[in-house]
Amino acid sequence: MDNNIAIKADKLTKRFGDFVAVDAITFDVKQGEIFGFVGANGAGKTTAMRILCGLSTPTSGTATVAGFDVYKDAEKIKKNIGYMSQKFSLYEDLTVMENITFYAGIYGLSDKDIKDRGAELLDRLGIAHEAKTFVGSLPLGWKQKLAFSVAVIHRPKIVFLDEPTGGVDPVTRRQFWDLIYEASDRGITVFVTTHYMDEAEYCGRVSVMVDGRIDAFDTPANLKKKFSVDSMNKVFYELARGAKRKAD
């Protein structure tokens, strides 16, 4: 495997009966890159992401994640990635430290590592005094930062973020991106979906999915140049308004 490639997909396809949810997508993500994966509701993002996380088997095409094959090595993929979504992340009725211990344990960290990295995590987020607080009573912004930190506690090669910043205030949303940049600086590859097109501008490269296909794939600057527009929002609008599919 090429050591500089974190994810590689070649004509990756997923069908559900007659419906082609993911239609022969080809792309690659470099190690340490922040990769934006955007598309309209129903464009096929979630299906593609589930395949790359080892949760769903493709119908045809090939893909490797962290060097592992999505058909044969799904279990190895799961061990080498982190995953965070806005909806399903932390247990609200466990405390902050219990959540950390639970996830770190699932990822197979030793008791010592759990203790050390847990303390380091609390310290970095400045919430050591909240270690015994139930997650359910934390402000949304803190929950998101905690969920992200827990998703990378086992130091995965790649972290998948599924709409991580929905609903939070503009300042917290930006603080969250500071965490993403830090992870990227540490060499973690970040694969992120978002509906905020200003966030697409923060990515190294962006792919735009329309009706199961990847219709555009480049740096934000090149995409804007190609469509002769001044923002990723307009790039997205140009591409997605032609979509035929209206389903989720």
Partner 1 sequence: MSAITLDNITKTYNKGKVLAVDKATFDVAEGETFGLIGPDGAGKTSIFRVLTTLLLPDGGSATVAGFDVVKDYEKIRNCIGYMPGRFSLYQDLTVEENLNFFATIFNTTVKENYKLIEEIYVQIEPFKTRRAGKLSGGMKQKLALCCALIHKPRVLFLDEPTTGVDAVSRVEFWDMLKRLKHQGISILVSTPYMDEAALCDRIALIEGGKLLSIASPADTIKKYPGKLFAVKAANMHQLLKDLRSYEGTHSCFTFGDAMHVSFKQDANTDVSKLTGYLTAKGHKELEIAEIPAGIEDYFIRITEKEIAEK
- If one asks whether residue 147 binds partner 1 (CB under 8 A), the answer comes out as no
The interface region with partner 1, picked from 70-78, 93-101, 105-113, 164-172 by CB under 8 A, is 164-172
- If one asks whether residue 188 binds partner 1 (CB under 8 A), the answer comes out as no
> What's the CA gap between 79 and 169, in Å, rounded?
32
In whole angstroms, the minimum distance from the beta carbon of 110 to partner 1 comes to 33
Closer residue to partner 1 in complex, CB, 134/177: 177
- If one asks whether residue 197 binds partner 1 (CB under 8 A), the answer comes out as yes
Give the N- to C-terminal CA distance of the chain in Å, as an integer.
35
> What's the CA gap between 51 and 31, in Å, rounded?
19
User: With CB under 8 A, what is the number of residues at the site for partner 1?
Assistant: 38
Closer residue to partner 1 in complex, CB, 10/178: 178
Query: CB of 183 within 8 A of CB of 133?
Result: no
Residue with tokens 């140049």: 225
> Could you say which of 17, 75, 88, 171 contacts partner 1 (CB under 8 A)?
171
C-alpha distance from residue 135 to each of 84, 97, 146 (Å): 15, 9, 9
The side-by-side arrangement of strands in the sheet containing 68-69 is 19-30, 5-16, 60-65, 68-69
In whole angstroms, the minimum distance from the beta carbon of 172 to partner 1 comes to 7
H or E stretch covering 81 = strand 81-85
- If one asks whether residue 126 binds partner 1 (CB under 8 A), the answer comes out as no
Residues that bind partner 1 (CB under 8 A): 39-42, 139-141, 163, 166-172, 174, 177, 181, 185, 195, 197-198, 201-202, 220-221, 224, 231-233, 236-237, 240-241, 243, 246-248
